[in-house]
């Protein structure tokens, strides 16, 4: 059975038996474009089957195709799509990534997964968190330059002030209705109401700061953009211990968040951080190369991959070098043009990730070399 995943890399990357199927497709969030997504998917599934028929018996193909056919008939799945899909299948397992950036249509059936489009989607260089906050509740989002989506909090993490404070919630000053997150609140009570509200708000903000830092910011090290009214910016920044919280935020009510309206605004806030990160990676490569601990020679990088000597490799977006990396010797093997026949840069990415190294995809104009790759070595 297929399953939707968010972790990258996934355990399926450790699969050793093929066929390895990689399917990528742009999708849409809104109609009428959305209505064509499942039709395009069915056409790509036919291409998967055609490629399998070149190497495998029909009985095996029938079993492999079951998940793809079920997915094509899953109406609920196709109602809730983002901007792209990445689907990987091996050893009877199928995982699905809903992507927040468009991808080119592609089907690859080979000896390993084609993961470069996924790397670009999940790399930390241009990803960020958004914290929508008011004194009633909070919502966390994750995005990149193309858009953002709400993060599903763990079940044991409350997201509103009443559940967070519990018995400590100061409700004695309230005799009227307490508004829900995002809605107006009507209060009737004593003269100390303002002080009590401020105390509760500060307690709640301290909880939010701690939860976001420990559960999301530290594990991902993504920059955090605060979206809140100006008065909440002041209080939250005063009590926050989150080193990933950016100085610049968005001063507005977070309940008006929409992808179309605010994604450009968020990227304006994040872009300086992105440029600093990429510049640091480029400088690291230049320093490493000057000390003979780095290279942009593809053959040298391939050998270093197999020897588990690469700390970070920068790869050029949309560049394909036909061929393969021999996983035993590190030698390059020439191949025909097209991802389905092998891509040396994809092999390098896959090997580096499996060894715990870092892979960053950069646009051509940001690359510090013309070869398509630039690597910094561990030793």
- Whether 157 and 267 map to the same domain: the answer is yes
pLDDT (tens digit per residue) in 165-213? 987 776 544 444 444 445 544 444 444 678 888 999 999 999 999 999 9
- Whether 133 and 239 map to the same domain: the answer is yes
Please check the confidence at residue 40 and state whether its pLDDT lies above 60.
yes
Residue 162 in domain: yes
Token pair in block for residue 109 = 């059936």
DSSP 25: E
The confidence band for 334, taking pLDDT boundaries of 50, 70 and 90, is: confident
Burial call 190-218: b when 16+ CB within 10 Å, e when fewer: eeeeeebbeebbebbbebbbebbbeebbe
Task: Give me the pLDDT at residue 176, please.
Answer: 42
Domain residues for 75? 2-114
Final residue belonging to a domain, choices 114, 145, 172 = 114
SS (H, E, C) 98-162: EECCCCCCEEEEECCCCCHHHHHHHCHHHCEEEEEECCCEEEEEEEECCEEEECCCCCCCCCEHH
- Whether 102 and 131 map to the same domain: the answer is no
Burial call 126-155: b when 16+ CB within 10 Å, e when fewer: bbbbbbbbbbbbbbbbbbbbbbbeebebee
**CATH number where 145 lies:** 3.30.420
- Nearest CA to 24 out of 373, 292, 339, 275 is that of 339
Token pair in block for residue 355 = 């060894």
The owner of tokens 């977070």 is: 254
Name the pTM for this structure.
Answer: 0.74
Token pair in block for residue 317 = 């977006």
pLDDT (tens digit per residue) in 208-220? 999 999 999 998 8
Phi, psi of 241 (to 5 degrees): -115, 15
pLDDT (tens digit per residue) in 203-252? 999 999 999 999 999 988 899 999 999 999 999 999 999 999 999 999 98
Residue 122 in domain: no
């Amino acid at each position: 059975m297929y399953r939707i995943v968010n972790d990258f890399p996934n355990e399926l990357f450790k699969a050793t038996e093929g066929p390895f199927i990689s399917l990528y497709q742009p999708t849409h969030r809104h109609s009428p474009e959305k209505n064509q997504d499942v039709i395009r998917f069915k056409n790509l599934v036919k291409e998967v089957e055609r490629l399998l028929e070149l190497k495998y018996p029909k009985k095996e193909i029938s079993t492999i195709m079951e998940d793809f056919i079920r997915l094509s008939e899953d109406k609920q799945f196709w109602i809730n799509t983002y901007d792209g899909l990445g689907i990987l299948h091996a050893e009877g397992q199928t995982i699905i990534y809903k992507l927040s950036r468009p991808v080119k249509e592609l089907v690859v059936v080979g000896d390993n997964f084609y993961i470069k489009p996924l790397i670009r989607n999940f790399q930390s260089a241009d990803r960020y968190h958004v914290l929508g906050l008011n004194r009633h509740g909070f919502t966390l989002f994750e995005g990149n330059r193309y858009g953002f989506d709400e993060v599903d909090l763990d079940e044991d993490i409350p997201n509103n002030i009443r559940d967070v404070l519990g018995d400590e919630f100061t409700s004695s000053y309230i005799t009227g209705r307490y508004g829900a997150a995002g809605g107006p609140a009507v209060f009737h009570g004593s003269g100390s109401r303002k002080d009590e509200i401020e105390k509760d708000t500060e307690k709640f903000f301290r909880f939010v700061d701690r939860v976001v830092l420990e559960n999301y910011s530290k594990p991902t090290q993504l920059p955090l953009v605060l979206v809140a009214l100006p008065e909440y910016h002041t209080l939250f920044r005063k009590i926050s211990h989150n080193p990933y919280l950016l100085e610049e935020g968005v001063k507005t009510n977070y309940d008006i968040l929409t992808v179309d309206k605010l994604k450009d605004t968020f990227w304006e806030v994040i872009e300086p951080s992105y440029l600093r990160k990429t510049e640091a990676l480029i400088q690291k490569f230049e320093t490493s190369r000057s000390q003979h601990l780095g290279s942009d020679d593809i053959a040298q990088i391939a050998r270093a991959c197999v020897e588990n000597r690469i700390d970070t490799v920068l790869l050029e977006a949309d560049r394909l070098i036909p061929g393969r990396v021999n996983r035993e010797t590190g030698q390059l093997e020439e191949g025909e043009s097209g991802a389905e026949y092998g891509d040396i840069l994809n092999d390098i990415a896959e090997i580096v990730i499996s060894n715990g190294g870092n892979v960053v995809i950069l646009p051509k104009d940001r690359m510090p070399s013309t070869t398509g790759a630039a690597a910094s070595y561990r030793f």
